[in-house]
Copies of this chain bind each other. A is one copy, B any other.
Amino acid sequence: MTTTTKKPLSDIEIANKATMKPILEIAENAQIPLDAVEQYGRFKAKIDTSKISGEATAKVVLVTAISPTPAGEGKSTVTIGLADALHQLDKRVMVALREPSLGPVMGVKGGATGGGYAQVLPMEQINLHFNGDFHAITTANNALSALIDNHIHQGNALNIDPRRIVWKRVLDLNDRALRHVTVGLGGPMQGVPREDGFDITVASEIMAIFCLATSLKDLKQRLARIVIGYTYDRNPVTVGDLQVEGALALILKEAMNPNLVQTIEGTPALIHGGPFANIAHGCNSITATQTARKLADIVVTEAGFGSDLGAEKFLNIKAREAGFKPSAVVIVATIRALKMHGGVAKANLVEENVDALKQGIANLAQHVANVRNFGLEPVIALNRFITDSEQELKAVLQWAAANEVRIARTNVWEEGGKGGIELAEKVLEVIEQPNTFHHLYDLQETVEQKLTKIVQQVYGGAGVQLTDAAKKQLAVIEKNGWDTLPICMAKTQYSLSDQPSLVGRPTDFVVTIREILPKLGAGFLVCLTGDIMTMPGLPKQPAALNMDVAEDGSALGLF
């Protein structure tokens, strides 16, 4: 898989040149019973989880990262490359990833399926509609909106206050014009006018529910618990009150089965679900992870953004709901990104700058501490970049040695699994050892106690303060008995604090909780620390402008 050409191929060129195995062969190699495999074309399948027996016993390796920077760290690429490396070492391994959202694909990303020789295939279909899961979630979300507005229009037996509906519509697109809309205009035959807005589908509570539900029954119960708004008397109104959880579950049923695909090297991959890591919990579905844990000995999975966001929620929310203990955590870092945390501008990253690098390592240090605070031992994946200098490399390795953290260089973009062997070997060392994994807080602690633990032990901050609005919301939450839910922090990904500009390792900061939104279906309290964008916009030159389809049907312009 090593390429020796000077000008590297683009991701889609590499993907198009790769020879895929029929998905039935991938399934057979993974010992998936063939009657559980529902083919979707030649190279994709859905796995009927009701036909997968056995216990979910595989060890879980979580891949996280330092605080993301515009330099890019390559977390998905490393996740895939690590799985390929373990596969090369003859381990029974599966990789479990999130599905890409079409909005960013058409906006800035052009694709989100790893890179270089560490990709999942078929790249094009995974990046577009995949097997329709996000479309099912969009449809369920918007069917609920239509049913709410219809309920009010048809007499409003539940006494819903149209001004206090919190359920928003969604589309899986970047569309800023839909952030704030008014609906129901045009007169008495066209519904009841009210303010509304659209989020991107990955921000839908149904996406979070989809990823946390452990069975169809659990799915339905969670859907029924969704609070869609409040009555004129300020009492919560749920999906269960509207009696439509059955219809929503029916819309989601087919999508609930995880999707099997393969890496370029033929490692089996389950890709399923994809909630935001800021407003939601940022991990692929429990269904996929637990199915992979029944089928393999090691499951490599990832969580969104840095360890302060996706990993914290993976460990405090997803692992708790699913009832498993992770065995190791990989923290992806690059010298480039660490230099940005040390204050270097993106334009100057090609220049060697050991001093800035040493400063930026402070960010990595916090992420290492975070993992250890959960009783887990991290392995740093230092993802190679062509501009890395020997002096810079030395500085990072010295720091790691001094802090007794395992570190491995990875070169999976260029070499595939071979470029992840060193990382794989260190991960194997860690997962053989016992660990003392524990959640960071108990559910019975107060909301403020939980928040304080997250801020102090994961962000490295001093503490937390609630705005008056948040205090009011917390009072309602406590009154309704919802305060025993876990916390889902909604925070900028760019800083360990709640201030995006504070890169590196800020200290002594107090995090402000502006709002606390109960998401009873997902089963967590979203605590907003700032303006979290739940519907992105398109850039001046959207990636869509480069996309095309050739007359022979091949896709162009996916990166």
Contact = CB atoms under 8 A, between A and B. Distances in A.
Interface of A: 38-42, 46, 50, 102, 106, 125, 128-129, 131-132, 135-136, 138-139, 142-143, 145-147, 149-150, 153-155, 171-186, 189-192, 215-217, 220, 243-244, 246-247, 249-251, 253-254, 537-538, 540, 542, 544-545, 547-549, 551-553, 555-557
B173 A149 contact: no
Contacts of A181: 181-183, 185
Given A190-B179, A247-B106, A173 B548 contact: no
Contact of A545 (B185, B186, B243, B251): B243
**Which of A42, A46, A150 counts the most B-chain CB atoms under 10 A from its CB?**
A150
Contact of A253 (B150, B542, B555): B555
Contacts of A182: 181-182, 185
6 contacts: A39-B41, A154-B538, A180-B184, A180-B185, A181-B182, A216-B549
A166 B545 CA distance: 21
Nearest to A162: B177
A41 B23 CA distance: 13
Given A246-B547, A246-B557, A254-B128, A175 B146 contact: yes
Contact of A247 (B176, B190, B540, B548): B548
A185 to B, nearest CB: 4
A155 B541 CA distance: 11
Contacts of A175: 142, 145-146, 149-150
Contact of A129 (B125, B132, B150): B132
Contacts of A50: 552-553
Given A135-B132, A545-B243, A186 B190 contact: no
A178 B172 contact: no
Most buried by B among A46, A186, A216, A246: A246
Contacts of A185: 179-182
Contacts of A191: 176-177, 179, 537
Contact of A146 (B177, B247, B545, B549): B177
B154 A177 contact: no
Given A179-B191, A180-B186, 19 more contacts: A40-B40, A41-B46, A125-B254, A129-B136, A146-B174, A150-B177, A179-B186, A179-B190, A180-B184, A181-B182, A181-B183, A191-B537, A216-B549, A216-B553, A243-B545, A246-B547, A247-B544, A250-B557, A253-B549
